[in-house]
Amino acid sequence: MLCSIKQMQGNKLEATDGEIGNVKDFYFDDQSWAVRYVVAETGTWLTSRQVLLSPHAFSGFRPFAKTMPVDLTRQQIEGSPPIEWHKPVSRQFEEEYHRYYGWPGYWEGDGMRNFPILESTRKSPDTAGAAITKKHKGADAHLRSTQAVRGYHLQASDGITGYICDFMMDEKSWVIGELVIKTGHRFSGNEVLIPVGRVSRISYEESTVFVNMTKEAVERCPAQQLALDGAFN
């Protein structure tokens, strides 16, 4: 089942020993379209700090619920490095982040594009070491924010035909399967779904997503509301 990333933003995050904040953003790989991290706004208990949460951290994922359970304690999350110190995210940071929690890295092995369903050998935060808090260079050029890409123009083969307004993610694999495109007038236009396989490239300099489709073909795509209605039935 595909679920709306925009609808999940703001959802409450519940650790094993209490609420830890809200969903702020999602970071995805712009080559595989797999969501790699949820950005958590931790609220007042951690001085409104933002932290990264891997898909490995979530248990009992319910796409249309307003609360997302996190299989971590507050102490584990408090000991993880804050995202403000690592913008943009580097691979070295990711390696140490995954090592802190004892999770396998998504870049390991055969480079699987989907969320790896593997057993976690999580370490205690007391033995993780403080070295993960240092800054690193060498940003992952393919790790992008859904919040930043939302609003990008959609460039068809014959001109601009709308903008990105949402992302539809598979609840099991955490892979974005479709983009929700607002066509026509910003307030009265239609919202249609385009498979990410039709995307030819993304220009961050131009804030534009290019698709190998005509404007007419984009406008003939399935309506987003119909797809969401079907997901609840």
**pLDDT tens, position by position, 199-214:** 999 999 999 999 999 9
- Domain boundary pick from 111, 126, 143: 143
The answer to whether the CB of 161 falls within 8 A of the CB of 215 is yes
CA distance 70 to 59: 6
CATH of the domain at 160: 2.30.30.240
- Same-domain pairing of 118 and 159: no
For residue 18, what are its two tokens? 């209490």
- Same-domain pairing of 132 and 189: no
The answer to whether the CB of 13 falls within 8 A of the CB of 23 is yes
- Same-domain pairing of 59 and 108: yes
- Same-domain pairing of 118 and 174: no
Q: What is the pTM of this model?
A: 0.80
The answer to whether the CB of 47 falls within 8 A of the CB of 25 is no
Residue 53 domain boundaries: 2-143
* Residue appearing with tokens 């102490």: 75
- Same-domain pairing of 28 and 56: yes
| pLDDT tens-digit map of 58-70 | 977 776 788 999 9
- In this predicted structure, the answer to whether residue 52 has a pLDDT above a threshold of 70 is yes
- Same-domain pairing of 33 and 114: yes
> What b/e readout covers 168-205, taking b as 16+ CB neighbours within 10 angstroms?
bbbeebbbbebbbbbbeeeeeeebbbbebebbeebeee
Q: What total of structural domains would you count in the chain?
A: 2
The answer to whether the CB of 27 falls within 8 A of the CB of 143 is yes
Using 50, 70 and 90 to split pLDDT, how confident is the model at 128? Answer: very low
CA distance 27 to 37: 5
* Residue appearing with tokens 């890409």: 149
Half-sphere exposure of 175 (CA within 13 A, CB side): 14
